[in-house]
Amino acid sequence: MNKIKSDSMKNKLLNSPISFPKTLPDGYHYIEDEPVYDPKKHLALEYPKDSTSLNDLGYSNQEISMCPTNFGVSGPARLLSDEGVKVLMQSAQSLRKYSSSGGERIQYLLRGCVYRSRFLRDLCLCPNVADFLSEIYGIPVAPHSIPLHLGHFNFAPDDLNRAVDKWHTDTIGLDYVMMVSDPNQQVGGQFQYFLGTKKEVQEIKDNNQPMPEDRIISPHFPGAGYIIVLQGNMVVHRGSKLKEPFDRVTMVNGYVPLDTESPDPSRFADVKTVDPHQLLFPEWARHKAWLSKGKLNRLIEELPFTDDKDLIINELKNAIQDVETAISDLSESGSGEQNFYGDLEK
Ligand SMILES: [Fe+2]
């Protein structure tokens, strides 16, 4: 398809953010007595001082061309004020009773919270935060079109021999990880990422090798309410083992590029193992329909006059590919499968 000519045209072709569902799923209700989210009171945005690109991690130009941005992972950035941290921690504690097993990878996780906490919903959907992240990613982004990927909490495992979260890439492309509990109070349990590519980690795993320690980065979070921004499907990361018991709480919030041309990195099989299907199935369908909508809009705007039927057919097929994928995913009867690397220790 024709290359976009100008910024104004490019903006015109950006998809608009998906609307949040107007009704709650059966069995969900909002907790009462939460403060109302107020960006002026609860945010304290400070940009990260540095970031690492996919290039820096060792990805090829060809691999990067399949991604919406060359951005890899940021240094710590501040998101919440002290007041914001306090409210979010209280909400996390009220919601903890709904946490479930994340299978082998994570012991306790909590998803679907934007249907249980108005504060969390409004924080995760906040346009000020989306603008802040757009600046960091260098592309326009919006809160993720799958609400299950908004406001995901991880809690510490009971067993100190178990990593908080094993080495993995995320099941979505763009997200941040926030320290909700105070990282200065915990011993061990750091958020860490690998300075390299997924292919390298797969080779390490296949050869039963430990991760090379000199290539593991443990960013220093100055306090609670700080985040690391990442292209989570490209950066291999984990929550390491705690050395002492601690109520470690982190929150992950997902985003999507508003330019829907890049291939969708979101994985269905992984989340099928952990998410309630009454939420996941329609959310997956809406997400994929939203992606196809963006692609169809672009086709409507850009398709040139031509008698090249094959070009037109290919463009139409490409535009509806996401919907076709959703139909095939939803037609599968399997229970899904989690993809991660494991502990990769000696
Ligand atoms: Fe992750």
DSSP state of 232: T
Give the rounded distance of the alpha carbon of 156 from its chain centre: 19
Residue type, 161: N
For ligand 1, the distance from its centroid to the CA atom of residue 119, given in whole angstroms, is: 23
pLDDT, tens digit, for every residue of 45-87? 999 999 999 999 999 999 999 999 999 999 999 999 999 999 9
CA of 154 to the centre of ligand 1 (A): 10
CA of 168 to the centre of ligand 1 (A): 6
Q: What is the value of pTM for the model shown?
A: 0.95
Rounded Cα–Cα distance for residues 205 and 342 (Å):
8
**CB neighbours of residue 265 within 10 Å:** 18
Q: How many residues appear in the chain? A: 346
Answer yes or no: are the C-beta atoms of 42 and 120 closer than 8 Å: no
Q: How far is the CA of 179 from the centre of ligand 1 (A)?
A: 13
**Do 153 and 180 touch, CB atoms closer than 8 A?**
yes
pLDDT digits (tens, 9 = 90+) for 89-126: 999 999 999 988 767 777 788 999 999 999 999 999 99
Question: Would you say the C-alpha torsion 283, 286, 287, 288 has a positive or negative sign?
Answer: positive
**Could you tell me the distance, in angstroms and rounded to a whole number, from the CA of residue 237 to the centre of ligand 1?**
6
DSSP string of 277-339, one letter each residue: HHHHHHHHHHHHHHHHHHHHHHHHHHPPS---HHHHHHHHHHHHHHHHHHHHHHH--S-----
Q: How far is the CA of 248 from the centre of ligand 1 (A)?
A: 15
Q: What are the domain boundaries of the chain?
A: 7-331
What DSSP string describes 250-276? EEEEEEEESSTTSPP---SHHHHTTS-
Q: What is the token pair recorded at 90?
A: 């209280």
Q: Write the CATH number of the domain with boundaries 7-331.
A: 2.60.120.620
Residue 1 Cα, ligand 1 centroid: separation in angstroms?
34
